[in-house]
Structure 1
Amino acid sequence: MIVRAAVTQVGSALSSTDSAPGPLFDTPATLARVEDCCRRARAGGAQLIVLPEALLGGYPKGLSFGAVVGSRSDEGRELFRRYFDSAITVPGPEIQALAALSRELELHIVLGVIERDGGTLYCTGLLFTPERGLHTRHRKLMPTASERLLWGMGDGSTMQVADTSLGRIGMAICWENYMPLYRQHLYRQGVQIWCAPTVDMREIWQTSMRHIAYEGRCFVLSACQELAKSDWPEELRDAGGEIAGRSLIVSPRGELLAGPAEGATLAFADLDMDEIARGKFDLDVAGHYDRPDVFELRVRAASRHD
């Protein structure tokens, strides 16, 4: 079976400020960008699109939120309030719109969002399928460095690989890809299409994506945001950071099928799913190349509240 896939690099829309600043990121405008990317991907024949980490809700790269060890400023608290207001709820109106879009276009959609649940934000990946709407929600297990000030930690209840009409789809968000035990957990579930929404555009990230594809004998689709200094409101431009894309698609033997892409764009590749079995011939780290008599992996696949 051939699956035509697309990765996109696009940035979140930022809100302009006025006398009563609203949300930090313009979520309705970003949702319109998501829809445009999905429609262009489907016009290019894609059956699956992967969009970047924290696209809906925004990734506040470079912002300190007025925090140092032992102290937070009032200005930083207000900026967090604006960021909090940019987040979406699951379920919610954005989820309904994306489910309808997936169904209309007959397109599988993987998208990074900032999810608001009670008083906590989570960096979350969502999978929509034409048949089921919202199929899978995965919360990032370990926010990286200063992200921990903004986002809560996920738990074992959202680490599932989804069985879809295109194959078995799994997600690892940004630096989760550097967690060996999480990778092995996805391998053991038979992941075939590994989706990696991210904001990491470094060369070492490209190497890591190729390593995971080779190690797991799966296709890896990495989608990174594209955000320039000029996209930030003037009062945040000095602090706000750039994100420079470089999305890519990798084969089960570590070969680049598309990318690293430059600029705000879509990159396409045809995934020959038979390549997975060909790759497993000499390396299956969850099967014949595993040593369960020597190594044991135990996973608590439950909510922290259970």
Structure 2
Amino acid sequence: MSSSSAKRSASTFRAAVVQAEPVLNDTAETVAHAVDRIAEAAREGARLIVFPEAFLGGYPKGADFGITLGSRTLEGREAFALYFAGAVDVPGPEVRSIADAAREHGMEVVIGVIERSGSTLYCTALFLGADGSLRGKHRKLVPTALERCVWGRGDGSTLAACQTPLGTLGAAICWENYMPLYRTSLYEQGVDLYCAPTVDDREVWPSTMRHIAVEGRTFVFSACQFLRGPDPDQPPLIRGGSLIVDPLGDILAGPFYDAATILYADIDPGAIARGRFDLDVTGHYARPDLFELRTKT
């Protein structure tokens, strides 16, 4: 932990970031895996746990669903139907199982899911309270590249951050972290605990997370999937790189690559006020006379 965070307040708590492998096309098994990880983190004293993007429902990296410009294949439609069947309803039985585990262990849970709503899928982050409630959800606003062919776009109805006993929680999913106006909307809501569930395992990702931590003077929790391919002798399809960063950009845990793990860090909320002493981008360091953000909810 950085020197700015060394002096802990009475409200210091432990947070966990999960880097793990979902079971593609077996959502029930993945739910059981998530419940086990919550119990494991609870044994380590964690009160907040963050899972990767698309953990329930899966991220089918490398799949093309038979899509070429102007045409689709029957095999691709069958692949999508299988993927659709593995998505979860919100609320629904799979979400209830995770929420029950959150309540049992007194844990705030942020988890990426593939949400099924009608006949459309969304890449969604769920906020589940330590009391077992569904505090809220956020749907990814702009699916990236080919993701747009299998996921719908989120809208303004899921932009709100969540109030928790640990602080204000918000989430930006994967490349939403490259959307400056969305980040600003989270800063305006006073996000203290900024969650970045992702599948981006590139070397540049940790620098993005550190920039956001410094920009927003917020704790950043980036949970990336670890996903092996069908050939165990080949590099993983998604190699991880999860990390936890404090409000001055110091890395508290990670980045960790090439294996499943749970990262832990002790979080001192007092570090946020110390960080915003000289930079509050939507407060004393803003120029509302020159710039205005309008958010349509």
Give the aligned residue type for 1:202: R
Of the three residues 250, 270, 273, the one matched with 1:277 is 273
The answer to whether the Cα contact below 8 Å between 2:244 and 2:253 also exists between their aligned partners in 1 is: yes
Question: Separation in 1 of the partners of 2:276 and 2:99?
Answer: 34
C-alpha RMSD of matched pairs (Å): 1.6
The answer to whether the Cα contact below 8 Å between 2:108 and 2:128 also exists between their aligned partners in 1 is: yes
Question: Separation in 2 of the partners of 1:132 and 1:56?
Answer: 18
Listed one character per residue, the Cα deviations across residues 126-181 of structure 1 (whole Å, up to 9, x for unaligned) are 01112251111110011001000000000011011111000011011000011000
Question: Separation in 2 of the partners of 1:13 and 1:230?
Answer: 12
Question: Separation in 1 of the partners of 2:231 and 2:167?
Answer: 37
Question: Separation in 2 of the partners of 1:101 and 1:166?
Answer: 18
Q: Aligned pairs, how many?
A: 286
Question: Separation in 2 of the partners of 1:149 and 1:3?
Answer: 40
Q: How does the TM-score come out when normalised to structure 1?
A: 0.91
Shift of 1:261: 1.7
* Aligned: 1:5 with 2:1: no
Q: How does 1:1-306 map to 2 (within 5 A)?
A: 1-14=11-24, 25-131=25-131, 133-230=133-230, 242-262=237-257, 263-301=259-297
The residue that corresponds to 1:21 in the other structure is none
Gaps of 5+ in 2: 1-10
Question: Separation in 2 of the partners of 1:111 and 1:231?
Answer: 28
The answer to whether the Cα contact below 8 Å between 1:61 and 1:241 also exists between their aligned partners in 2 is: no
Shift of 1:211: 0.3
Q: How does the TM-score come out when normalised to structure 2?
A: 0.94
Question: Separation in 2 of the partners of 1:76 and 1:148?
Answer: 15
Shift of 1:241: 7.0
Identity %: 56
Classify the secondary structure of the residue corresponding to 2:230: helix
Question: Separation in 2 of the partners of 1:130 and 1:224?
Answer: 23
Question: Separation in 2 of the partners of 1:188 and 1:88?
Answer: 31
Question: Separation in 2 of the partners of 1:86 and 1:253?
Answer: 40
Question: Separation in 2 of the partners of 1:280 and 1:256?
Answer: 18
The answer to whether the Cα contact below 8 Å between 2:102 and 2:132 also exists between their aligned partners in 1 is: no
